[in-house]
Chains A and B, each alone.
Chain A
Amino acid sequence: MSGEPLTVLLVEDNPDHAELVMRNMADFNVVNTIIHLEDGEAALDYLHGRGIYADRKQYPMPHLMLLDLRLPKVDGLDVLKEVKSDAALRPLPVVILTTSAAERDIAMAYEYHANSYVTKPVTFDDFSRLLRDLGFYWLAWNKRPW
């Protein structure tokens, strides 16, 4: 690890689930900043550095995006599709973190080039382990695009 601050963009409309993710990620010293947004439109604005997110110093490009699927305004799959069809954003690792285990969602997510697809575990221990593993894998083991 380079000591460079690492940022995770969490796009999750359920505040309780967001809290669970943030608590579990904060417990492991990999991630420095978690930015939590509640809908797909805000996520796209953030990634494109549009509107209130224009300042890249304050709103840095994330190193990992955890993306829920069923989101208000712009759906998670549409966010994914847009990210992966944009040359500048495409390298960003996008992990779908959702309650849905529907075949259609999994197929569509890979169709749109999701880097990984995980469902939210029901038990707390599994939830913690998953978040720790995801954090370690994508931010420490994995060679990041930036």
Chain B
Amino acid sequence: MPIGDEILTAIALACSLSVGVAAMFMLFFFNRRLKMIVNEKTANLEAELVERKKREDDLEMKNAELERFAYTVSHDLKSPIITIKGFTGALEKDLLKGNYERMTGDLKRVSAAADKMSDLLNDLLQISTVGRVVNTSEAVDMNLLASDVLAQLAGPLKNSAVKVTVQPDLPKLFCDRKRIAEVLQNLFENAINYMGDQSDPKILFGVRVESGVKVFFVQDNGIGVDPKYQQNIFGLFNKLDAKSSGTGIGLALVKRIVEVHGGRVWVESDGIGKGSRFCFTVG
């Protein structure tokens, strides 16, 4: 082979080789890019799946809550109707018989049942506003907030002779001021109302930090909560003592507000006579 042909062959070989190498490189890069795209898409899909699952769980929880809500409302609103219809029927009978003795008492029952219904409806309106009407969150001075709320409760506090201590230098809390004021008000009122026959009634409002989370608490030395009932006291219209005043919305409202804030509420109590500590966090 003449020398020129050899060079040409070598060049051709080199060219085809470099084309091959280039093609291989290109293949390699395309492959890598494809893998990256697939990985990225898979990650996106997985994230979306997780997100969707979370939304589904949330929705399921909300549905269950709504179902419970409808159940409670239908039960609790039907009760006064039975009372009203029952006693108006009794009144009618007694009127026909000229039996007047228990009429005043029965009329009172009818009237009280109507009042109860009106209270329930107001409470429902109040609890349904939480989460629907959201005020903007701000950094709230909790010492200031506590003293505002306590000022509103001056009357009941004086009547019950409860001594209230607020831990100084509480941290600021980023929250809906008006709603968290409602939380404090309900927790303070609860502490006052369930003091029992404590001769030295005390309430402490403070904070502790638990694995980096601020846990605010309202602690009292009142009647306490039996561990058996520490869960269901937060249910709508649930009351441990049927005779106690109020509709049983207080703690349900507290729970709703705290949950709308992404937080948690619970009670710590060693049982009857041991006082209670109601704790809440804000997410």
Contact = CB atoms under 8 A, between A and B. Distances in A.
Interface of A: 13-17, 19-20, 23, 38-39, 70, 72-73, 99-100, 102, 120-125, 127-128
Contact of A16 (B71, B75, B87, B89): B87
Contacts of B243: 38
A123 B88 CA distance: 9
A38 B241 CA distance: 9
Given A100-B74, A124-B88, 12 more contacts: A13-B242, A15-B242, A16-B109, A17-B79, A19-B109, A20-B83, A70-B75, A72-B241, A72-B242, A120-B82, A122-B85, A124-B85
Given A16-B113, A20-B87, A100-B75, A122 B82 contact: yes
Could you tell me the dominant secondary structure of chain B's interface residues?
helix
A57 to B, nearest CB: 28
Contacts of A15: 242
A73 B82 CA distance: 23
Contacts of A100: 71, 74-75
Nearest to A98: B75
A17 B75 CA distance: 13
Contacts of B12: none
A125 B81 CA distance: 15
B86 interface: yes
B93 interface: yes
